[in-house]
Amino acid sequence: MCPELLSYESLPYENKAVNDTSLLELASAILRLSRQIRAALDGPLEATLQLNFSEINVLRLIDQGVHSPSDLARELQIPAPTISRILNHLVERGLVERDVDNLNLRRFHLRLTPEGQRIRQKTRQTAQQILTQRYRQIPQPVLERALEGLQALEPYLREAQYV
């Protein structure tokens, strides 16, 4: 991708028509990159932490403030029974605690235990080491422009998700 395309300051968003081909190319690139990054992380993280990718994602979301099973299911776009199974495993491992919601006794409030917080920190450190080792050849300005572009795009994708 040409670096000039990632300069968003000069684009009047409201005046640009959506290009169907650009959206398809963008989606394909994001999916391809996601698969490559996940392939780089999956094995080493599972070997180090004895947690699969879905369990790691649940810990991440709880750490970021998603505190109910239904919100986790919606955010991860996976069925509620799968979330229940993942949460049961994380509770058994002592990484997550489930408290009954005082306002609605049918709901649970989730939080990381101190061990869950330690695992979350170890996950971040391990992932950072793996990614740095594997992708250190990427110039910093390219990373910064890509991150800016993705951050600019994210609100539009999130907004469309809940329409």
The topology under which CATH files domain 21-161 is Arc Repressor Mutant, subunit A (1.10.10)
Q: How confident is the model at residue 1 (pLDDT cuts 50, 70, 90)?
A: very low
**Phi and psi angles of residue 89, each rounded to the nearest 5 degrees, phi first:** -65, -45
* Stretch 19-32: mean pLDDT: 89
Single-letter residue type at 145: R
As a whole number, mean pLDDT of residues 65-78 equals 92
Select the more confidently predicted residue: 11 or 17: 17
| pLDDT, mean over the chain | 87
- Read off the pLDDT of residues 104-159 as tens digits, 9 standing for 90 and up: 767 788 999 999 999 999 999 999 999 999 999 999 999 999 999 999 998 888 76
Q: What are the backbone dihedrals phi and psi of residue 108, each rounded to the nearest 5 degrees, phi first?
A: -115, 150
Using CA atoms, how far apart are residues 138 and 83, in angstroms rounded to an integer? 36
| pLDDT score of 6 more than 70 | no
Question: What is the chain's Cα-based Rg?
Answer: 19
Contact 8, 154 (CB under 8 A): no
How far is the CA of 45 from the CAs of 23, 85, 113, 135, in angstroms? Answer: 32, 20, 20, 17
Q: Are 114 and 44 in contact (CB under 8 A)?
A: no
Residue of 94 and 108 predicted with greater confidence = 94
pLDDT of residue 144: 96
**Residue with the two structure tokens 């000069």:** 10
Query: Which residue in this structure is represented by tokens 């950072």?
Result: 128
Q: Where are the domains of the chain?
A: 21-161
CA 23 to chain centre: 21
